[in-house]
Amino acid sequence: MPLVARTRRADRIVGGRGTLMDRCLAAGLPVASACSGRGACARCLVTVLQGGEQLSPIRTHEARVLSRNHAAPDQRLSCQCRALNAAGAVLITTGYW
Task: Give the tens place of pLDDT for each residue, 5-31.
Answer: 999 888 998 888 889 999 999 889 999
Q: Give domain limits for the chain.
A: 3-93
Mean pLDDT over the full length of the chain:
91
Q: What pLDDT, on a 0 to 100 scale, did the predictor assign at position 86?
A: 66
Give the CA-trace dihedral at 15, 7, 54, 26, to 10 degrees.
30
Look at the domain 3-93 and name its fold: Ubiquitin-like (UB roll) (3.10.20)
Q: What pLDDT, on a 0 to 100 scale, did the predictor assign at position 1?
A: 60
pLDDT tens column, 55-88: 999 999 999 999 999 999 999 999 999 988 766 7
pTM, rounded to two decimals? 0.91
Q: Report the distance separating Cα 50 and Cα 6, nearest Å.
A: 11
Contact 63, 45 (CB under 8 A): no
Reported as type and span, the H/E element at residue 64 is: helix 60-68
Q: Report the distance separating Cα 24 and Cα 42, nearest Å.
A: 16
Return phi, psi of residue 10, to 5°.
-170, 170
